[in-house]
Structure 1
Amino acid sequence: MKIAFVLDDSIARPDGVQQYVTALGAALQGAGHDVVYACSGDVRDDLPAVSLTANIGVTFNGNGLRTPRPASRRLLREWLEQERPDVIHVQMPHSPVFAGRVVQEARRVLGDNVRIVGTFHILPDGKVSELGTALLGRILRRNLQLFDAFSAVSEPAVGFAKQAFGIDCTLVSCLVDVDAFRAEAARPRPVDDGSRPLTVSFLGRFVERKGVRELIEAVSALPPESRDRIHVRMGGRGPLLGSVEALVAEEGLEREISLEGFVAEEDKAQFYADADIAVFPATGGESFGIVLIEAMAAGAGVVVGGDNPGYRFVLQDDGVLVDARDTRAFSLLLELLISDPERRAAIHASQQRRVRDFDVPVTLAAALELYGA
């Protein structure tokens, strides 16, 4: 079977949708299927990917995004004639001028010989994005009729797809190859014998909804004996970097917090594996949380997440979910985890079981069912 993934962005960006399609694509290839990718903007040399239009930058749902320029229908038909996929898998919500046109031209070129499916990825981050998504759903109403089936990456995304788009989705979660990802970490985390600082790690974009400033404020609110027990590594970059640097200095946390900049894809597993406590304090707009399952797969001691619907779906444990905007509650959770190695060990064991729900065999089977295989 040949599957063509279609996404309205560059496949070279290290964001959640791109991680979803490349991880699922690799799993499909490992199972003997052919996979190609059609995107807008830049491509990766290590993937069978083609860019079929350019992008322009926009801001939506708290993210800096790129949206495609109108694609040439002739170019799309030529690509479809050349590839002739059995399945076209569109990432949703999708642009009417790129992925929407791929769907239209696929029906003209391939007719009923192609199965067209879509996966819904986002949750709105506020009223503006919620209204914008609902409007896009109305614009795409006729286009949606050309699809054969829909999925969503989490139960909250299933609900929002129904609310905003009027579509019924099955659940096909994001995935990680647990054993392969863990093998990318060359060294295990040292044993906590009290002789070293615990490593608290964050990795993500430095944007408002990822909770980077909230993490610094929670660390600042820790009692001195707890701050003395940790070293905080913050990896990533983004528009808040300058204000984060200023906040670290203002709170006098230069000894406790190191800002480590961009972490390369090949170094990510080790970055997570080194964490005694991996913290992702997103305040909203998360439909799933690939970072959570990657950190668990790498073997992080404890994974803590912001209490938003997508992260709650993944972690399913009130003991590691926190409203990051509540500085006192956030700080108390960190203090509890820092001081209680037995609690950390119990949570670690539970999370190591949970991550297997997102391992390749589980999600691959769900995807193949979506494809009608």
Structure 2
Amino acid sequence: MRIGIVCPYSWDVPGGVQFHVRDLAEHLLRLGHHVSVLAPAEDETPLPPYVVPAGGAVSVPYNGSVARVNLGVMSVGRVRRWVKEGDFDVLHIHEPVVPSLGLLTCWAARGPIVATFHTSNSRSRAMSAAYPILQPALEKISARIAVSEYARRTLVEHLGGDAVVIPNGVDVRFFADAEPRAEWQDQTIGFIGRIDEPRKGLPVLMRALPGILAARPGARLLVAGRGDEKEAVAGLPRHVRDRVEFLGMVSDEDKARLLRSVDLYVAPNTGGESFGIILVEAMSAGAPVLASDLDAFAQVLGGGTAGELFPNEDADALARAAAGLLADPRRRADLRERGSEHVRKFDWATVGADVLAVYETVAAGAEAVAPDDRAGLLGRLGFARD
């Protein structure tokens, strides 16, 4: 099958959607499919052979964060050329409502289009206001995927229609087989995320750290991610700062090794999460997980059976839960076992098969049915558009 995938965000800036697109593309390539990914990137950016650059990106505020997207006039020609030369059996657009390449591709494309919605935001006035502009493009979409029930709910509330829920995928074995590093072990807490993005929750964890250390003086916090390290610890007493180690940006291999090494992984995110891929990666690596009780996180953790939850933004509750887990190796071992079992449903072997089933359904429908009748067929198959 010839598959074209559109990534809305700049390829050279790490993020959950980029990782999902990369891993999906590489999974499909391993299965023998022809895959091409179109993404914002400068022409000189080193890229995998399957990625086609669509030009540089600009930063725009989006969903409580800053997204690097591309909707430039110069990109229109590149999108049209990529679509025409690709001669794809199916196009898979991620985040089609983001003002980036997905919209351009919707306008340029002919044939089956699958769209994946990643965003969870119950109060998006911008999305509701933009719907009249987006509608002509969205009507060309044959099948919709949401990465979680909360992303599906956002889609239904703001744009109408519905979607099949297929979670983000993870290469479970990659994380499970990683080698721990001795210097990252022994009463260590892990955090991975952008340091200076408040919704990732590092300030909450920093407020909790004095309480954790009061109960577990030997504990250490390992932080991986980009941002202002001095600002992150500015409010901490000197003796507490000494228990924080910043690792900077880490490779995929070192991320897996970090998650394999820590005694506890903490996800203190405060909002704007539709899934929680880092939780799945941590469980895959065998790390006990403690996360804020965001709806999406609770779903990923099986309602708290595969990891522990604490009240969102409650630093005192986080400190008590983290200290309790660090003091209880039996409970941590139980969470490792539960997490390792729970995470199997997120492996690419399962997730990839579900995505391919959607591709095959819309491709078969496009071949077998005249264009005017296509919407009715897809509706009967459960992939109806508005």
Give the TM-score taking structure 1 as reference length: 0.89
Partner Cα separation in structure 2 for residue 223 and residue 21 of structure 1: 39
- Do 2:175 and 2:260's aligned partners in 1 also have CA atoms closer than 8 Å? no
User: In the alignment, what sits opposite 2:157?
Assistant: 163
Measured after TM superposition, the shift of residue 155 of structure 1 is 1.1
- Is 2:224 the counterpart of 1:241? no
User: In the alignment, what sits opposite 1:18?
Assistant: 18
- Do 1:8 and 1:99's aligned partners in 2 also have CA atoms closer than 8 Å? yes
User: In the alignment, what sits opposite 1:59?
Assistant: 61
Partner Cα separation in structure 2 for residue 102 and residue 279 of structure 1: 38
- Is 2:161 the counterpart of 1:172? no
3-state SS of 2:212 partner: coil
User: In the alignment, what sits opposite 1:210?
Assistant: 200
- Do 2:10 and 2:69's aligned partners in 1 also have CA atoms closer than 8 Å? no
3-state SS of 2:103 partner: helix
Partner Cα separation in structure 2 for residue 247 and residue 281 of structure 1: 18
- Is 2:291 the counterpart of 1:298? no
- Relative to structure 1, the CA distance from residue 96 to residue 57 in structure 2 (aligned partners, 3 Å threshold; closer, same or farther) is closer
User: In the alignment, what sits opposite 2:365?
Assistant: none
Measured after TM superposition, the shift of residue 292 of structure 1 is 0.9
Partner Cα separation in structure 1 for residue 309 and residue 249 of structure 2: 26
Partner Cα separation in structure 1 for residue 308 and residue 28 of structure 2: 33
- Is 2:216 the counterpart of 1:227? yes
3-state SS of 1:201 partner: strand
User: In the alignment, what sits opposite 1:111?
Assistant: none
- Do 1:296 and 1:355's aligned partners in 2 also have CA atoms closer than 8 Å? yes
Measured after TM superposition, the shift of residue 44 of structure 1 is 4.3
User: In the alignment, what sits opposite 2:275?
Assistant: 288
3-state SS of 1:294 partner: helix
How many pairs were matched up? 355
- Do 1:227 and 1:256's aligned partners in 2 also have CA atoms closer than 8 Å? no
Partner Cα separation in structure 2 for residue 321 and residue 79 of structure 1: 45
3-state SS of 1:343 partner: helix
Letter of the 2:30 counterpart: G
Letter of the 2:352 counterpart: L
Letter of the 2:60 counterpart: V
Measured after TM superposition, the shift of residue 136 of structure 1 is 3.0
Partner Cα separation in structure 2 for residue 292 and residue 277 of structure 1: 11
Partner Cα separation in structure 1 for residue 213 and residue 80 of structure 2: 63
User: In the alignment, what sits opposite 1:267?
Assistant: 254
User: In the alignment, what sits opposite 1:8?
Assistant: 8
Deviation per CA, 1:313-352: give whole Å up to 9, x if none.
2112436112342122111111210111111111111100
- Is 2:88 the counterpart of 1:85? yes
3-state SS of 1:122 partner: coil
Measured after TM superposition, the shift of residue 97 of structure 1 is 5.9
Measured after TM superposition, the shift of residue 157 of structure 1 is 0.7
Q: Where in structure 1 are there 5+ consecutive unaligned residues?
A: 108-113, 191-195
Measured after TM superposition, the shift of residue 70 of structure 1 is 2.8
- Write the mapping of 1:1-373 to structure 2, written as runs, cut at 5 A: 1-42=1-42, 44-71=46-73, 72-95=75-98, 98-107=101-110, 114-124=111-121, 127=123, 130-183=124-177, 185-187=178-180, 197-206=186-195, 207-222=197-212, 224=214, 226-238=215-227, 241-248=229-236, 250=237, 252-300=239-287, 302-318=288-304, 320-372=308-360
- Do 1:8 and 1:39's aligned partners in 2 also have CA atoms closer than 8 Å? yes
Letter of the 1:64 counterpart: V
Partner Cα separation in structure 2 for residue 189 and residue 343 of structure 1: 22
Q: Where in structure 2 are there 5+ consecutive unaligned residues?
A: 362-386
- Relative to structure 1, the CA distance from residue 152 to residue 372 in structure 2 (aligned partners, 3 Å threshold; closer, same or farther) is same
- Do 1:214 and 1:324's aligned partners in 2 also have CA atoms closer than 8 Å? no
Deviation per CA, 1:86-143: give whole Å up to 9, x if none.
1111011434563222122212xxxxxx32010000112x84xx11222233321111
Partner Cα separation in structure 2 for residue 97 and residue 153 of structure 1: 19
Partner Cα separation in structure 2 for residue 351 and residue 85 of structure 1: 38
Letter of the 2:3 counterpart: I
Measured after TM superposition, the shift of residue 73 of structure 1 is 3.8
- Do 1:4 and 1:36's aligned partners in 2 also have CA atoms closer than 8 Å? yes
Deviation per CA, 1:29-58: give whole Å up to 9, x if none.
111111111012345422411122332111
Letter of the 1:146 counterpart: K
Partner Cα separation in structure 2 for residue 222 and residue 268 of structure 1: 23
- Do 1:39 and 1:52's aligned partners in 2 also have CA atoms closer than 8 Å? yes
Partner Cα separation in structure 1 for residue 344 and residue 181 of structure 2: 20
| Percent of aligned pairs sharing the same letter | 31
User: In the alignment, what sits opposite 1:110?
Assistant: none
3-state SS of 1:372 partner: helix
Measured after TM superposition, the shift of residue 251 of structure 1 is 5.9
- Relative to structure 1, the CA distance from residue 216 to residue 73 in structure 2 (aligned partners, 3 Å threshold; closer, same or farther) is closer
Tell me whether 309-318 or 334-343 shows the greater mean CA deviation.
309-318
